[in-house]
Chain A
Amino acid sequence: GDSVTQMEGPVTLSEEAFLTINCTYTATGYPSLFWYVQYPGEGLQLLLKATKADDKGSNKGFEATYRKETTSFHLEKGSVQVSDSAVYFCALSGDSGGGADGLTFGKGTHLIIQP
């Protein structure tokens, strides 16, 4: 079945540091890929998405590129802020033939940004 693997952390960085959170996936067909962010006590919020190979999703300074050759969707940000502290989830939605499909999530990466 489909699966997503991501570094679990916690990842601790200083403010303005460069961020990379690795994500690789296993899936049949052509899944859509997502990054979600979860703040304490809240639900998941969509951060960015990419729906086909070589697409780049971007939002709030975060970027991720859909790499089919390496089955990866790594999250990057050039300069992190304290407010970026949260748990980040990589997820995929299977290519089930056109219908909506449930998400398969990675375990989540807890990011801590220190002033």
Chain B
Amino acid sequence: DAGVIQSPRHEVTEMGQEVTLRCKLISGHNSLFWYRQTMMRGLELLIYFNNNVPIDDSGMPEDRFSAKMPNASFSTLKIQPSEPRDSAVYFCASSFGGLSNQPQHFGDGTRLSIL
């Protein structure tokens, strides 16, 4: 079975540009999580969805960040405008069943560099 698929794997862009990160969930999973990983702050939860509905976006850094689930199997994380401090590895993860004891399955991440 295909795992969580993220694209692009690497993104380099200049500050001020719009960046869109994409994530395809594992078929049948109904919870979706976006995380950011940096050396300084480690892994941080940005936002998560259950059944396409955003449940907690308190980890989203600023209004420049937005996330959507246009359908049950796909999500986007958008940064507009981007800033150098947004440089990080962004992971999405999905899980099944909508329960906190279910493991999350991670994609390979998008390494974002804002110049």
Contact = CB atoms under 8 A, between A and B. Distances in A.
Interface in B21-58: 31, 33, 35, 42-43, 45, 48, 50, 55-56
Nearest to B89: A43
A83 B109 CA distance: 22
Contacts, number: 69
Interface residues of B, number: 28
B3 to A, nearest CB: 8
Contacts of B67: none
B95 interface: yes
A32 interface: yes
Contacts of B99: 98-100
B112 to A, nearest CB: 15
Interface string A82-115: 0000000100011110111111111110000000
Nearest to B97: A100
**Interface bin, chain A:** 20 to 34
A103 B108 CA distance: 17
Contact of B43 (A34, A49, A101, A105): A105
- Tell me the interface secondary structure of chain A in the complex: loop
Contacts of B45: 102-104
Interface of B: 4, 31, 33, 35, 42-43, 45, 48, 50, 55-56, 59, 91, 93, 95, 97-109
Interface of A: 31-32, 34, 36, 41-46, 49, 51, 89, 93-96, 98-108
